[in-house]
Amino acid sequence: MQKLQLPQPSPEAQAASQALLELIAQEISANGGWISFARYMELALYAPQLGYYTGGAAKLGSAGDFTTAPEISSLFGAALANFALQVLPQTANQIMEFGAGTGKLAFDLLTELHHQASPPERYYIVELSGELRSRQEQLLKDFPEVVWLQQMPASFSGLILGNEVLDAMPVQLVKKTASGWNELGVSWQAGALKWTEQALVESALLAQIPDEEALPVGYLTELHPIAQGFMTSVAQMLKAGGAGISLFIDYGFPAAEYYLHQRDQGTLMCHYRHHSHTEPFYWPGLQDITSHVDFSAMQHAGQLAGLELLCYTSQAGFLLHAGIGDVLLRTSPSDAMRYLPQANALQKLISPAEMGELFKVLAMGVNVTLPEKILQQDRSHRL
């Protein structure tokens, strides 16, 4: 592992990471000396009390490790509220958000819906992080419609939101060899985590890679069975509810762009104190581990489970046609002190050089029709 020049964690954080490391070592030992990288990533992010999302460290904002669109500007949530106003009447008028972060998106979205005199009947939040849930409860205390859930219900009718949720789901790492595909896993040797390979057992998963036979030996990439399983569960929940829509916003590509020859080291990234790097064994439990989303795989899983593909577009295209510019213009450009910071934030959200093009929006649903404006930017043919 390369030497990283990153801020040193506090003694308390180091102790928590060491406890998680010991838990991972025990898991490796109990499984014959090897666990898949997907299992390692699951423990590093979600082990009870010790994982990145289940422990107590700050995740978002200046004191955390990364910043998301709702943290950049309340315009993001207001634009999503405009979209919600157009689709919720076709459903039971409920919203469910997965992984709500600090609660900022829920706060901005609900503030706008109340401003429009159209609050939802319920705003459910499915949150695994105790630290983030406590922050959400504080921020959202004035919205009685907010309800927290430990897991998704069997049925739901309404709008499902997932902003930067799919990228945090554990992935399998696979590498092409001269004799076929290997899966990368983790072993424990001489008191440290080590990469170890073994033959890929679930070769059917390679079906999500277009033309995988043509990829060169040594090609390293990710497979996404857990996220695909999640999409299947979302589809079953919406189908049981009778009418609803899921909206997932994340960084990623369709399969034809995800598995390009030149992307031969995959997309796995780690985020620690606003530094990005590629070492997932660095202080387990103290850093985020993510990969880009294969939106073709997500769409395929949703469709197999009965959802209709409604739209696939860029974040910029979606936000602009959801009326984010109109929300900005509620502040007069002549009021430079208030207008310019909002305009700069909007640029970050929609500029192709920032989040506008890298982040995509996937909308799938059952018995719901999207507004024509949103469909003007549809790129479903690329999936």
pLDDT one-digit tens code per residue, 269-306: 999 987 899 999 999 999 999 999 999 999 999 999 99
Q: Which amino acid is at 257?
A: E
Chain mean pLDDT for the chain? 94
pLDDT at position 70: 94
Please give the share of the chain, as a percent, with pLDDT higher than 90.
Answer: 89
Span 174-185, average pLDDT = 97
Rounded to two decimals, the pTM is 0.95
In a domain, 24, yes or no: no
pLDDT at position 65: 57
- Are residues 163 and 17 in contact, defined by beta-carbon separation less than 8 angstroms? no
In a domain, 11, yes or no: no
Query: Can you tell me the distance from the alpha carbon of 253 to that of 221, in angstroms, rounded to the nearest whole number?
Result: 13
CA proximity to 127, closest of 93, 91, 158, 168: 168
pLDDT exceeds cutoff 60 at 236: yes
pLDDT at position 106: 98
pLDDT at position 132: 85
* Residue-wise pLDDT tens digits, 15-60: 999 999 999 999 999 999 999 999 999 999 999 989 998 876 554 4
CATH number, residue 241: 3.40.50.12710
User: How big is the CA angle at 332 (ends 331 and 336), to the nearest 5 degrees?
Assistant: 95
pLDDT exceeds cutoff 80 at 91: yes
Residue 122: DSSP 8-state: E
Please give the share of the chain, as a percent, with pLDDT higher than 70.
Answer: 96
In a domain, 205, yes or no: no
* Residue-wise pLDDT tens digits, 106-161: 999 999 999 999 999 999 999 988 878 999 999 999 999 999 998 999 999 999 99
In a domain, 186, yes or no: no
- Are residues 66 and 271 in contact, defined by beta-carbon separation less than 8 angstroms? yes
pLDDT exceeds cutoff 70 at 62: no
In a domain, 198, yes or no: no
Structural domain harbouring 250: 38-172+222-382
In a domain, 262, yes or no: yes
Span 93-108, average pLDDT = 96
Most distant pair of Cα atoms in the chain: their distance? 67
pLDDT exceeds cutoff 80 at 61: no
Cα separation values, 190 from 25, 29, 187, 193, 194, Å = 11, 13, 10, 8, 9
pLDDT exceeds cutoff 90 at 201: yes
- Are residues 227 and 298 in contact, defined by beta-carbon separation less than 8 angstroms? yes
Question: How would DSSP label each residue in 138-207?
Answer: HHTTT-TTEEEESS--S---SEEEEES-GGGS--EEEEEETTEEEEEEEEEETTEEEEEEEE-S-GGGGG
Query: Within 10 Å of residue 180's Cβ, how many Cβ atoms?
Result: 10
pLDDT at position 128: 81
- Are residues 374 and 311 in contact, defined by beta-carbon separation less than 8 angstroms? yes
Cα separation values, 337 from 8, 29, 72, 104, 332, Å = 37, 59, 17, 23, 10
In a domain, 286, yes or no: yes
Span 243-258, average pLDDT = 98
Query: Can you tell me the distance from the alpha carbon of 219 to that of 177, in angstroms, rounded to the nearest whole number?
Result: 8
Cα separation values, 141 from 133, 134, 144, 145, Å = 12, 11, 7, 10
In a domain, 16, yes or no: no
Span 340-344, average pLDDT = 96
pLDDT at position 60: 45
Span 237-243, average pLDDT = 98
Domain count, the chain: 1
* Residue 266 token pair: 């995959």
